[in-house]
Amino acid sequence: MFTMSTPKKRRPSARSKPKTAKFGGFGWLRRILFILAPVVILILGGYVFYLDYTVRQQFEGKRWALPARVYASPVELYAGLEMDAADLESILEQLKYRADPALSTQASYVRLGGEITLNTREFKFWDKTEPARHMRIVFSGGTLETLEDVDEGKELSLLRLEPIQIGSFYPALKEDRILIKLDQAPKPLVNALLAVEDRDFYDHFGVSPKGIARALWADMRAGGFVQGGSTLTQQLVKNFYLNSERTLVRKLNEVIMALLLEAHYSKDEILEAYMNEIYLGQDGARAVHGFGLASDYYFSRSLDELELQHAALLVALVRGPSFYDPIKTPDKAKKRRDLVLDEMAEQAYITKAQAEQAKTKPLDVVEDPHQAISRYPAFLDLVRRQLQQEYRNEDLTSEGLRIFTTLDVEAQDSLEDSIASTLKKLDKQTRSDGALETAAVITRRTTGEIAALAGSRDPKSAGFNRAVDSVRQIGSLYKPVVYLTALSNPQKYTVLTSLQDTALRLSNPGGGAWTPKNYDGQEHGPVPLHKALAHSYNLATVRVGMGVGVAHTVKTLHNLGVERSMPVFPSTLLGVGELTPMEVAQMYQTLASDGFVTPLKAIQSVVSQDGKPLHRYGLNVKQSVDPGAVYLLDTVLQEVARSGTAKSVYSYLPADFNVAGKTGTTNDLRDSWFAGFTGDYLGVVWIGRDDNQPAKLTGAQGALQVWGSTMGKISHEPLQLDPPENVEMVWIDRGKGLRTGEGCEGATRYPFIQGSAPAGFSDCGGSSQEVGGEPEESLLKGLF
């Protein structure tokens, strides 16, 4: 018989747990990580790929924007030059030469009284490289007497020194550097850098944990910063790609990019980039980057001229250029330099004795290393404008161009000094309380090269450039244009043509009448043409201008090189038209160049960073006005300075300088002008007020004073006018206006276009009059 038993209940086992408990606890987190891991890896991979692209693109592309360097015209020395030892020493100081009795390097000199011995600096010009020379230069009586090449044992006919740098054109970041190759860096400099900043540089892969630990220990032992924890590669990444922000993200980027940089490029490539990138000081707004520029800035030496103590000091600056500034904090700089030397000795780069000897040496930094970004702002503004006609702005600020200009530093400084002293005096005279402003242009008479330029009474002003942009009425400066137009018609006008300086009344194109008056309010009746211009008679000028036609005078103005349009009104004859000082200078430059339009230029040449000539700005002239008529006019302009409205110019210059020039004054004495030239320079000066209120100065009372003061300092050649072939010199009886003999009473020799001289003879001299001779003995000497 079977009996049924009650089944026993089973205890649930772990294996019989519901499936829903399989991912209990942290299972959900594992699931999320499992899903997100590929996404995170993809994102990180993409980010690393982005960093890798950034590293390669910038490192292989254009690494640095190199500013253009702008130079003045080079100084040329030769026997007979008016210069003394103090003048040359001043030039050498501006070129950052070092006073060094041992003459141990290039760019060093020693002066003993009137003798200077120097080692010049090698310099690559646009046409050739001037080698470094060992020179002996002797001065006597204010003149350069001997110019001897000591090594060659012979005298030189000419020595061209390197030009003074007067500024740079920078991009937004005013970083400056002189690029070097690694093999140009002296071994002590490289060893010092590795000893202090990264002793394992050639062994690590971009990041050095051992280096970080060792640096911490060394710093604790020294009680200060001795070694850096970051590798040179990391430092390069931070400076080249990133910033100095102290965040974890920035540090991680630095590490990743350092690894990538090491993966793509050799150690030498990285070290070379570091030596060009590292920030080593601040010169005003200019940041000094790289050891090439730092060597020049602090020591006025090239890298290959550095000694051990110099190299150690440059490396000392890596940790903190401001904190260890050798100019402002020399004690801190020396202490840091000595620590660098100790590290080099400890790592056997040098011996202990070498380190101790180097520690005894002074820092040897130059007294004034400052290099102005824009020493002469108005002139540099003009240079930039002329360059922008052919170069893009980005090329001017990033390609490392070398721009050789026409500026003469001595002339520029003389102009600025004259402006400062003269305007201070005129402020008191006119009670203008500093409201007077000025602009000036000085050119070389034979070439049209701009030797000096002022755009304001403040030479450091980088604002409104009045020399280029200020358009003002030119007053009597227009009168030579009127008389040149007349003299170009010799059958009707000569320098002796009688003009009526009497009142007249003219209709104005805008309605009403115009009744011009002379400055002195008087009428002078019949006067010869040369006297009417010499004394700037308004009434005679208007009559001549109306006789030749106002439109014809405007055409003459354009033939003189002025492109600006001019109103064809009778009042234009007295200078109501407006021009800039640069345009006036262009007009008078043509008068000073025998009728050849010679475009004013501020640039001689542009050279690429590697020394390849890119552009030469040669002499480009065009005959546009009859040279005979210009010659006649210039002799009258000499009379203006000799006995006319500009006679006070000879209180600044010798009496035999034969200056040609013209004063200019506008209505109510608002504008004071003077334009004139000697044998070597032409100058135009304007003085007035920006608010167009009266300056209370005539041309002779204001602008001529600045012109004369400047030319008295820089001009060394009297003006000698050479008559062209179509001009003849004829003896004239001043009283009768007829031909006469040389020895007759009242005989004066005048210039005439051939065929235009008087045909008749006075009682004295008959037909035996003499023709020819020196022109300056005629209108200039016979009249006075």
Give the pairing of strands 402-405 and 68-71.
Answer: parallel
CA distances from 351 to 219, 226, 255, 765 (A): 22, 19, 35, 98
Rounded Cα distance between 527 and 501, Å, is 7
Question: In the numeric block, which tokens belong to residue 371?
Answer: 């290099």
Instruction: Work out the angle at residue 186's Cα, subtended by the Cα atoms of residues 182 and 189, and round it to the nearest 5 degrees.
Output: 95
The residue written with tokens 């030319």 in the block is 711
Rounded Cα distance between 513 and 45, Å, is 87
- 160: burial class by Cβ within 10 Å (0-12, 13-18, 19+)? middle
- Element containing residue 486 per DSSP (H, E): helix 479-487
Neighbouring residues of 757: CB distance < 8 A, sequence distance ≥ 6: 494, 728, 730, 732, 739, 750
Residue 544 CB-half CA count within 13 A:
36
Tell me if residue 197 is catalytic. yes
From the candidates 148, 162, 175, 197, give the one annotated as an active-site residue: 197
3-state secondary structure of 527: strand
| Helices marked H in 614-723 | 627-643, 703-714
User: Would the CA dihedral through 280, 283, 287, 291 be positive or negative?
Assistant: negative
Tell me if residue 305 is catalytic. no
Question: In the numeric block, which tokens belong to residue 348?
Answer: 């056997």
Rounded Cα distance between 279 and 774, Å, is 66
CA distances from 128 to 106, 120, 404, 501 (A): 19, 16, 13, 59
Contact 668, 730 (CB under 8 A): no
3-state secondary structure 216-279: HHHHHHHCCCCCCCCCHHHHHHHHHCCCCCCCHHHHHHHHHHHHHHHHHCCHHHHHHHHHHHCE
Instruction: Work out the angle at residue 169's Cα, subtended by the Cα atoms of residues 168 and 173, and round it to the nearest 5 degrees.
Output: 105
For residue 281, list its beta bridge partners: 288
Nearest to 304 by CA among 177, 151, 121: 121
From the candidates 73, 208, 432, 476, give the one annotated as an active-site residue: 476
Question: In the numeric block, which tokens belong to residue 292?
Answer: 């090439």
Question: Backbone phi, then psi, for 147, in 5-degree steps?
Answer: -130, 90
Which positions are annotated as active-site residues?
A: 197, 476
